[in-house]
Amino acid sequence: MKRVTITLVVLLVTMLMFVGGTSSTLYDAWYDFDDDGDIDIYDIVDIAGRYGTTGTPINKTEMLLELQARMDALNATVTDLVNQIGGCSEAAVNIKDCYGLTTGAGSGAVTLNFDNPFNSVDYYLFTKTVLAADFDPGSGNIPAGTVVDAQNVVKTAANFTAEVWYGEDLLKGADVDLFYIAIEIGTSTTQPKHCAGIELLTCGEYLPPPTPVDHYVKITFPITFTNASNVGLSASGIVYSSAMGAGHPLKITVVDITTTYAILALEGWNGAMWEHLALDDEVQISYTAVENPT
């Protein structure tokens, strides 16, 4: 194999000497393997060195479409949240992507300061945390990009502190990225009933009669609304554990809303299409529910 590779490189270099260093073909970044802005002998040597190797192909277009789907889902959620609180008096919002955070070496926690401090600690907080780099807490390597949990949150009017966990492991000294939305509705006597949360749910669990549906989940509200027909719900989420893989975005359809819970139908993006989740698949869902006054 080594002799074949060397022969290929020599032939390619010889061809370049006769053809010249320029080409009428337009630059294509997919062939610029060292990302230096030009396609030259170094790129050719790189691909020649891999001649004859095999593996699992990656559809780069599908990867880009999946990333776009995740971004669209996140943007839609943020838009819904802003629209829902837009009519509430004295509302305050802090929304931020925080990159390059490192959890405490002893505490496993991070502290985030708000750009716009609240009046009290009576605000709703939504977080999504992922590992920015591979990390081994002592029980085995956790790859970068894994969704981890923000737990034991302590809130003040100016900031919040959260411990970062993965399963039963407190991640001390881990590099993480954290996205949060914090909403303070205000003290108006006419403000609507509202609640919010981030839930880790299992498909098919705790559904009301008559028959559970494999790709349905149930969100139980922490409050009781007055009139279910006036309750609006927005939600977004990702696949936490499934045969299709973790981290895929969810397409969420509201099936039913009552005064105490909501039933959601879920589809996951498998890299090529949306498909129903299966029984016992786990998902992480962020939601807000607001009862609009009549």
Query: Phi and psi of 13, rounded to 5°?
Result: -60, -45
Map tokens 């709703």 to a residue: 124
Task: State whether residue 229 is helix, strand or coil.
Answer: helix
pLDDT the model gives residue 191: 61
Map tokens 């981030």 to a residue: 198
Query: Does 210 sit behind a cis peptide bond, omega within 30 degrees of 0 on the bond before it?
Result: yes
* Helices 2-19, 41-48: crossing angle, 10 deg rounding: 150
For domain 92-184, give the fold: Immunoglobulin-like (2.60.40)
Q: Give yes or no for a contact between 182 and 93, defined as CB atoms under 8 angstroms apart.
A: yes
Ranges in the chain, pLDDT < 50: 17-20, 87-90, 188-189
Q: According to the model, what pLDDT value does residue 83 have?
A: 58
Q: Where are the beta strands (DSSP E) in 194-281?
A: 194-202, 216-220, 231-241, 250-257, 261-269, 274-276
pLDDT at 102: 96
| pLDDT score, position 239 | 87
Within the chain, all domains assigned CATH 2.60.40 are found at: 92-184
Q: Which pLDDT score, from 0 to 100, does residue 126 have?
A: 82
**Nearest-angstrom CA–CA distance, 240 and 246:** 5
Task: In whole angstroms, give the CA distance from residue 148 to residue 165.
Answer: 6
Q: Quick one: pLDDT at residue 56? A: 74
- The secondary structure of residue 142, as a DSSP letter, is B
E strand map for 124-193: 124-131, 147-155, 159-166, 169-170, 175-184
Tens of pLDDT, residues 6-44: 555 555 555 554 444 555 677 777 777 777 888 887 777
